[in-house]
Chain A
Amino acid sequence: MEIPRIPLGDWIESGLTWLTSEYSLVTRGISRFTQTGIDFLNDSLMWLPEWALLGLIALLCWKLAGVRLAIGAVAGLALIWNLDLWNPMIETLTLVVFATMVAVVIALPVGIAAALSNRLYRVIMPILDFMQTMPAFVYLIPAIPFFGIGSVSAIFATVIFSMPPAIRFTTLGIRQVPVELIEAADAYGATRGQKLFKVQLPLSLPTVMAGINQTIMLALSMVVIAAMIGADGLGSEVWRAIQRLRPGDGFEAGIAVVILAMLLDRLTQSLRKTR
């Protein structure tokens, strides 16, 4: 007896088609809104002369993490500038910043809710597993019918891919608050809100920051891959180098990504430590 093949792919496709046609107004709205935001951030950062932005970033590093990171930042950014990769670097940075903001705005409340409700926790954790283990490229495909080729699709895929750690760490951070402190808050008659904002959130902040750091790193890696669906930035430089078989160009852009990654990582880690 022949067991018929389950048409799982067909189902998903028809589902997605239904979604795109049914909610095209919504997706187009999101698309326009997001594009405006990205353009604004991009234009602002590019409007600044290279040396001014470089100086600002160095100052930020100095204040938050000390003089060593500041020197590293100046050297790294100067190299990127010298290699003529400044504008792609800004485009990538914009996408990362924007995607991270969206991811965190969604992740914090979801993470808090999952920490406070066991039922929600049981529903959300497998979804997060799914989101994280699904190969990142797969998200790029449905992004295109939803939002078209370009930055918005890149953001969409990036947000989905990079959000799980922020949710997980928020949940973990809140659940890790010692029981006796919760008991103390209860004993003095704290409401749920007071407990959350005066005890649970402040105490879980270092863990939440670690999650946001992870999200930023994942966002950066995804934004580079998103060059395949037409996102601008360092990723598209790499993509072009692949297509033209120019390893030198590819490595130049790759090194720029590494520099950006290290900068973002050290900066967010220092934020966590100053707490």
Chain B
Amino acid sequence: MDETRPVKIKVRGLSKVFGKHPQKAIELSNQGMKRPEILEKTGQTLGLSDISFDVYEGELLVIMGLSGSGKSTLIRCLNRLIETTEGEIVIDGENIPTLKEKALLECRRRHFSMVFQNFALFPHRTVQQNAEFGLEIRGVEKAERHKIAHDSLKQVGLEGWEDAYPNQLSGGMQQRVGLARALANDATVLLMDEAFSALDPLIRKDMQQELLQLQSKMQKTTVFITHDLDEALNIGDRIVLLKDGEVVQIGTPEEILTKPADDYVRRFIEGVDRSRILTAESAMRPLRTTARESDGPRTALHRMRDHTIDSIYVVDRDRRLLGLLEVDAASRAIEEGADSIIPYLTQDFRKVPMDEPLHNLFAMFSEKSFPIAVIDKQEQLLGVVVKGAVLDELARAGEQ
């Protein structure tokens, strides 16, 4: 984890008690008592207990837990839809739990957009008017907010639906409106509360992909709640794992899978943890194209262009792997008038045998983004593994 990245939201010692005598519950909690005992002794429900984590600028942080883990409470504490009992939530120097009413409204308008599980669209407003809502609340002038909302609807692929009402749209489209409403608002943080959980699995995958694409374009700080490990692994830069109102582990998807903090996490990822019997072969994809040793730089470059890739594996006549040619190197070879690409190859990539356990592959990706080459005993190139495929494969195993 990179500790030097700028922190957008700092959460420290956050606790939430549901009930009339929160202080009693906090005391017991500080003495190390857990949720069920506290409920029995005081009648107070400890929703969140001493939660601390950071949300870095521009990252997509997933907060994951099963129902009752406190994840919905936690996201609502961030913009204070639920009052906190103890602790700090600092965003750009402002401590949210202590803000006065007016400052709180200001803070919500400036910093938070929210997407809800059941969409929470306003049925009496058109798609366009729904997308404009946040701007309207902030008092943005009519013509301007119209344009911004229109743009964000276009961004989520709803152009032409501006005058429809929410009940005329399918679930997936409704959630796009929800997303457009959040994007139009251009707040600094996007809160997504089980945003895709109400959608059916295929549409859900699509929405996850689209979110990732939007995210790579906009780099918006996002806090995403889910109960679905598959989803968390798929989209999260980092994952905060909650259980019974406490943080169990914080880490990247790879860290959670490879270094589970305790038995709970281990059980949680048990299905997924078949990675230990999954191998590189299962996640491998055939190569779309390779270059031959006899190819000149122009041919190699041409192949890369054809397949819109920026590096290509080079093999000899027996498909033995010789090296990797990057697009820059190919250009350089052309400039220098070289006939052969062999001197321009790099060996700075990873190759693994077919039976390499899948979980070992995670660490390799963090260095360079080239696909990992999979070879057999004769050094022949069989295929490649890309990062997403590893996670997909693990997640699929988890579902079985």
Assess whether A203 is interfacial by the CB under 8 Å rule.
Answer: yes
B-contact 0/1 string along A170-196, CB 8 Å cutoff: 000000001011011111111100100
Size of the chain B interface, CB-CB below 8 angstroms: 23
Chain A residue contacts of B79, Cβ below 8 A: 187
How far apart are the CA atoms of A79 and B120 in the complex, in Å?
51
Chain A residue contacts of B133, Cβ below 8 A: 184-185, 188, 198
Assess whether A78 is interfacial by the CB under 8 Å rule.
Answer: no
Contacting pair B124 A203 (CB below 8 A): yes
Assess whether B81 is interfacial by the CB under 8 Å rule.
Answer: yes
Nearest-neighbour CB distance to chain A for B221, whole angstroms, equals 16
Contacting pair B122 A199 (CB below 8 A): yes
Contacting pair B124 A184 (CB below 8 A): no
How far apart are the CA atoms of A184 and B124 in the complex, in Å?
14
Main secondary structure of the interface of A (DSSP, over half): helix
- Which bracket fits the contact residues of A? 10 to 19
Contacting pair B122 A188 (CB below 8 A): no
A-contact 0/1 string along B89-114, CB 8 Å cutoff: 00000000000000001111100111
Report if A190-B81 is in contact (Cβ < 8 Å); known contacts: A181-B120, A183-B116, A202-B124. no
How far apart are the CA atoms of A178 and B116 in the complex, in Å?
13
How far apart are the CA atoms of A188 and B138 in the complex, in Å?
9
How far apart are the CA atoms of A199 and B224 in the complex, in Å?
26
How far apart are the CA atoms of A156 and B293 in the complex, in Å?
101
Contacting pair A194 B137 (CB below 8 A): yes
How far apart are the CA atoms of A184 and B136 in the complex, in Å?
14
How far apart are the CA atoms of A202 and B129 in the complex, in Å?
14
Closest Cβ neighbor of B135 among chain A residues: A188
How far apart are the CA atoms of A186 and B80 in the complex, in Å?
9
Contacting pair A184 B120 (CB below 8 A): yes
Chain B residue contacts of A202, Cβ below 8 A: 124
Contacting pair A189 B108 (CB below 8 A): yes
Report if A188-B114 is in contact (Cβ < 8 Å); known contacts: A183-B81, A194-B137, A198-B136. yes
Assess whether B245 is interfacial by the CB under 8 Å rule.
Answer: no
Assess whether B290 is interfacial by the CB under 8 Å rule.
Answer: no
Report if A189-B138 is in contact (Cβ < 8 Å); known contacts: A183-B81, A184-B114. yes
Assess whether B340 is interfacial by the CB under 8 Å rule.
Answer: no
Chain B residue contacts of A183, Cβ below 8 A: 81, 116, 120
Contacting pair B123 A188 (CB below 8 A): no
Contacting pair A189 B109 (CB below 8 A): yes
Residues 111-142 of B at the A interface (beta carbon under 8 Å): 112-114, 116, 118, 120, 122-124, 133-134, 136-138
Report if A180-B118 is in contact (Cβ < 8 Å); known contacts: A188-B113, A189-B105, A202-B124. yes
Nearest-neighbour CB distance to chain A for B110, whole angstroms, equals 8
How far apart are the CA atoms of A138 and B351 in the complex, in Å?
95
Assess whether B279 is interfacial by the CB under 8 Å rule.
Answer: no
Chain A residue contacts of B112, Cβ below 8 A: 187, 189
Contacting pair A187 B114 (CB below 8 A): yes
How far apart are the CA atoms of A168 and B68 in the complex, in Å?
36
Chain A residue contacts of B191, Cβ below 8 A: 187
Query: Taking each of A183, A185, A189, which has the highest tally of chain B beta carbons within 10 Å of its own beta carbon?
Result: A189
Nearest-neighbour CB distance to chain A for B341, whole angstroms, equals 56
Closest Cβ neighbor of B119 among chain A residues: A180
Contacting pair B137 A203 (CB below 8 A): no
Chain B residue contacts of A191, Cβ below 8 A: 105
Contacting pair B116 A184 (CB below 8 A): yes
Contacting pair A188 B108 (CB below 8 A): yes
Closest Cβ neighbor of B191 among chain A residues: A187
Nearest-neighbour CB distance to chain B for A12, whole angstroms, equals 41
Nearest-neighbour CB distance to chain B for A116, whole angstroms, equals 15
Chain B residue contacts of A190, Cβ below 8 A: 105, 137
Nearest-neighbour CB distance to chain B for A272, whole angstroms, equals 14
Contacting pair A203 B123 (CB below 8 A): yes
How far apart are the CA atoms of A180 and B115 in the complex, in Å?
11
Chain B residue contacts of A184, Cβ below 8 A: 114, 116, 120, 122, 133
Contacting pair B109 A188 (CB below 8 A): yes
How far apart are the CA atoms of A185 and B136 in the complex, in Å?
11
Nearest-neighbour CB distance to chain A for B102, whole angstroms, equals 9
Chain B residue contacts of A199, Cβ below 8 A: 122
Assess whether B185 is interfacial by the CB under 8 Å rule.
Answer: yes
Residues 19-59 of A at the B interface (beta carbon under 8 Å): none
Contacting pair A180 B81 (CB below 8 A): no
Chain B residue contacts of A189, Cβ below 8 A: 105-109, 112, 134, 137-138
Question: Can you spell out 19 A-B residue pairs with CB atoms less than 8 angstroms apart?
Answer: A180-B120, A183-B116, A183-B120, A184-B114, A184-B120, A184-B133, A186-B108, A187-B81, A187-B108, A187-B191, A188-B108, A188-B113, A188-B133, A188-B134, A188-B185, A189-B105, A189-B108, A189-B109, A189-B137
Interface residues, chain B, CB within 8 Å of chain A?
79, 81, 105-109, 112-114, 116, 118, 120, 122-124, 133-134, 136-138, 185, 191
Interface residues, chain A, CB within 8 Å of chain B?
178, 180-181, 183-191, 194, 198-199, 202-203
Assuming A184-B120, A187-B114, what are 18 further A-B pairs, CB within 8 angstroms? A181-B120, A181-B122, A184-B114, A185-B137, A187-B81, A187-B108, A188-B108, A188-B109, A188-B133, A188-B137, A189-B105, A189-B106, A189-B112, A189-B134, A190-B105, A191-B105, A202-B124, A203-B123
